[in-house]
Structure formats: C-alpha cells, structure tokens
C-alpha cells in the first residue's frame, strides 16, 4: 500500500520532468517518432520556368493514391489535357525531356477556359514506392490529350514534410546580380542566339554569375545559375540586361616591349587624366590586347601585366 502511495506521489514529478524534457527537445513526442509521411507534393512550372500551381499525392489506407492538382495562368484555352508520371524526378524547361519515359498515365485533367484547373482523382495506377524510387518521379501536363502534343507543365515530386533543396548561391568570385530587362530575359543552353531556351528570367530576379562573360555573335554572354522552386538551372544570358555583370577581361593577342628609355607610365585609363598605376622600365614585356583609343592627342593601347589591365602610350611600345 505504501508503494502505491509512493508511486502516486511521484507521478507529478515524472510528468513535470517529461514536460521539461519535451520543451528542451530532449525527448521526442510519439507522433514525431512515427514519421511515415503519406503526402508528396510537386511545384508545377511551365515552359518558361514560371510556377503555375501545385500537385499533391496522398497515400490512402487502401494503398491507392489520391492525386490533386491546382494550376492557373496557362494559355487560356479550355479542354482536356493528358496527365502522366515521368520516370525521373527532374524538370528542365522548355522541353522537359529530362523527365524520362512515362511510367503511368492518369485520367485526363480538364482545364477551364481561363487556363486554370482543379483536379482530383483516386487511383491505383501509381504507388508511393514507385514515386519515390532511386530516380524519383515527376508529374507532367501535356498541351492536349495526345502524348505527341508536348509537355506544357512539369513538377518534381517530393515529400511534403521534407523541405525543398535550399536555394544556396553557388561558390563564386562574382556577386549576385539582377535581371534588368523589363520584358524578361531568356536563359539559353549555349552563348548564342540559336541556343535552346531553358527558361525566361523575370525582371528583377536574382541570378548568380558563374564565370566571366564570353563574346559570341557580337554579344557578351554570362553563365548564370538560377533557382526556381529549389531547383537550379544553369545557362547563358545577355550580359547587357544584368545589373552588374562581371566584365570580361580582354583577350591578349601577343606581346609588346617597352622602348621608353626613362620607363613607361601605365595608367588606369586611356588619357593623361587617369591615375598612374605603375612605371615599368625599358625592355619590360607586356601583353597586347589590340584595343586602342585616342585621347589628349595620344594613341593609347590596353596592355596586361601580371593579370592586370592598364593603358600605355602606344608610341613607346613595339611588337615583340
């Protein structure tokens, strides 16, 4: 009897210690220990990489999966669309060809005339094990009911309780910049006007330069990384429409020898008003860029020395 009283007396103490441990994070509540997530989500983007809505996949007690899709803003045209599951958990606008082959086809999704859709179906044609296998999976929306019509929307399927990959800026010597084009800027797979368009960057969107620009077709192109919905896209965009794109160093085209007997002043710019950065002795070898500019009655040429680009009076240099 005394043992029963002792146990009863200790109950408030045990409850208090347990509550304190929970508040301090020392003990996990039973609900946190049983963590079978039964909901998966996908953020759906269009061919320009713009987020258009979401899809959820809920595992029912029967083993079936309830699929719910809510999207809006697609090209305003009503009608049925093919809805399928891709074998790879990747979406790469505009073609979405990285999503692999279809592993399941769901009942068609019906679009309203304003380009939106509100879809829900419970099916046994897919399972959670298949959605979350080694390659992941994706949800695909086609332009119409035919597979040949092309994919207009795609979403990578991920657990709802797991945070998407963080949009961590890539390690780079260049600071992030923003898109200044008022109508958007195309991100291409290659530095060329004929390069395939990956997606369209939004005005004011933050992007991350990965390298110094390259010039092709008379256009300066910057290799960028862009984050959309936790997914990283790498591609080239015209440097002129970026807020502070890194300036490409001019290419050297040969070497020059300093002929001035009293040494040659190297300036920060093409003109006598620019600061003198170095004075190099006769015989110094400099890199030639082929870039000349006239100022103050002098022809100045851009030269390189130890990786730094400066300007010198061309009359005191000769080609080596």
pLDDT at 27: 41
**Average pLDDT of span 229-257:** 75
pTM above 0.85, yes or no: no
**Mean pLDDT for the stretch of residues 173-188:** 84
High-pLDDT (> 90) share of the chain, %: 28
Q: What is the mean pLDDT of residues 141-164?
A: 79
Average pLDDT over residues 132-143: 84
Q: Give yes or no for residue 213 having a pLDDT over 50.
A: yes
Q: Is the pLDDT of residue 244 over 90?
A: no
What local confidence, expressed as pLDDT, does residue 233 receive? 80
Q: How many CA atoms lie within 13 A of 178 on its CB side?
A: 5
End-to-end CA separation in angstroms for the chain:
107
Q: What is the structure's pLDDT at 67? A: 94
Between 168 and 223, the more confident residue is 223
pLDDT, average across residues 38-48: 87
- pLDDT-derived band of residue 229, with 50, 70 and 90 as boundaries? low
At 22, is the pLDDT very low, low, confident or very high (cuts 50, 70, 90)?
very low
Query: Each residue of 7-17: pLDDT tens digit?
Result: 444 555 545 55
- Mean pLDDT to the nearest integer, 104-119: 93
In whole angstroms, give the CA distance from residue 289 to residue 303.
Answer: 6
Average pLDDT over residues 204-215: 83
245 contact partners, CB below 8 Å, separation of at least 6:
177, 209, 213, 220, 222, 239
**What's the pLDDT at 251?**
62
pLDDT, one tens digit per residue, over 262-296 is: 899 999 888 888 888 899 999 999 999 888 888 88
State the average pLDDT for the chain: 80
- Is residue 259 predicted with pLDDT exceeding 90? yes
Res 263: pLDDT: 92
Average pLDDT over residues 179-205: 86
| pLDDT above 70 for 179 | yes
Of residues 236 and 161, more confidently modeled: 236
């Amino acid at each position: 009897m005394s043992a029963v009283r002792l146990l009863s007396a200790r109950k408030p103490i045990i409850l208090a210690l347990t509550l304190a441990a929970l508040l301090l994070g020392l003990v996990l509540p039973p609900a946190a220990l049983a963590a079978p997530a039964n909901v998966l989500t996908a953020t759906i983007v269009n061919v320009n990489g713009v987020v258009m809505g979401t899809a959820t996949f809920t595992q029912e007690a029967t083993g079936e999966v309830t699929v719910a899709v809510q999207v809006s803003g697609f090209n305003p045209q009503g009608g049925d669309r093919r809805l399928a599951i891709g074998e790879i958990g990747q979406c790469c606008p505009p073609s979405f060809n990285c999503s692999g082959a279809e592993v399941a086809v769901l009942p068609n999704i019906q679009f309203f005339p304003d380009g939106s859709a509100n879809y829900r179906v419970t099916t046994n044609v897919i399972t959670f094990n298949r959605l979350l296998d080694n390659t992941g999976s994706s949800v695909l929306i086609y332009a119409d009911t035919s597979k040949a019509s092309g994919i207009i929307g795609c979403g990578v399927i991920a657990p709802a309780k797991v945070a998407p990959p963080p949009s961590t800026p890539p390690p780079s010597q260049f600071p992030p910049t923003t898109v200044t084009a008022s109508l958007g800027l195309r991100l291409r797979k290659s530095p060329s006007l004929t390069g395939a368009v990956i997606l369209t960057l939004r005005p004011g969107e933050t992007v991350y330069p990965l390298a110094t620009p390259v010039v092709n077709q008379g256009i300066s192109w910057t290799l960028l990384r862009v984050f959309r919905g936790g997914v990283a896209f790498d591609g080239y965009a015209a440097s002129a429409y970026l807020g502070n794109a890194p300036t490409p160093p001019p290419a050297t085209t040969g070497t020059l020898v300093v002929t001035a007997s009293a040494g040659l002043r190297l300036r920060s710019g093409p003109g006598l008003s620019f600061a003198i950065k170095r004075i190099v002795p006769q015989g110094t070898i400099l890199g030639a860029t082929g870039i000349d500019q006239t100022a103050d009655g002098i022809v100045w040429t851009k030269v390189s020395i130890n990786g730094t680009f400066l300007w010198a009076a061309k009359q005191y240099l000769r080609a080596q």
